[in-house]
Chains A and B, each alone.
Chain A
């Protein structure tokens, strides 16, 4: 059974870099699929942040592209999100996903001093 689990700090200070990791179990991320990050601000809708293919190609939301880096560590079956220069507007539940089918449970990241 494939499972995804997000991990990382729940509180980040303004202007700093948000870093999250998604650990995949039950599947090798280098075997296939597209691995994505999505976020949802409190009380709002879903926003696709970007993703990385099993071969390492990345795609980013143009609105976030200048601040986002997504990378993968295939030896650990993990992929990561870095979002720089965060503000309160980046406060959200962050989800990782395999394609459209399998999502993690999400982790709340609050940006506050």
Chain B
């Protein structure tokens, strides 16, 4: 089973700042099948990035994913008010699919 470790646990930033979220895998993620989700309170997770770097439909280009192998990053270039939420990474290359524990992006 691939264990995903997200860091930091909480990121305190101001609107307009840059956010960098990390997801590290315990072993290489097959075909870079790594997804990022955003979850707001009371809502289902929303897919942001799949295949490590492909944006899902409707996702603004200020959100970007990068990385390969065991190290992946989600970058939000300029934080908007709607970006303050919890973010999860997930690998879907090798069953069992697994999630990271989440990173909370909060308003400073």
Contacts and interface: CB of A to CB of B under 8 A. Distances in A.
Interface of A: 36, 45-48, 50-51, 59-62, 95, 99-101, 103-106
Contact of B92 (A60, A100, A105): A100
**6 closest A-B pairs by CB:** A59-B95, A46-B99, A100-B35, A48-B97, A61-B96, A45-B102
Contacts of A105: 44
B10 to A, nearest CB: 14
B88 A45 contact: yes
B96 A45 contact: no
A106 B44 CA distance: 7
B44 A45 contact: no
Given A100-B50, A100-B90, A48 B99 contact: yes
Nearest to A34: B92
Interface of B: 1, 35, 37, 44-45, 47, 50, 56, 88, 90, 92, 95-102
B45 A48 contact: no
A47 B99 contact: yes
Contacts of B92: 99-100
B35 A48 contact: no
Contacts of A50: 96
A95 B92 CA distance: 16
B35 to A, nearest CB: 5
Given A59-B96, A62-B96, A95-B44, A46 B88 contact: yes
B35 A104 contact: no
23 contacts: A45-B88, A45-B99, A45-B100, A46-B37, A46-B45, A46-B88, A46-B99, A46-B102, A48-B90, A48-B97, A48-B99, A50-B96, A51-B95, A59-B97, A60-B96, A61-B96, A95-B44, A100-B35, A100-B47, A101-B50, A101-B56, A103-B45, A105-B44
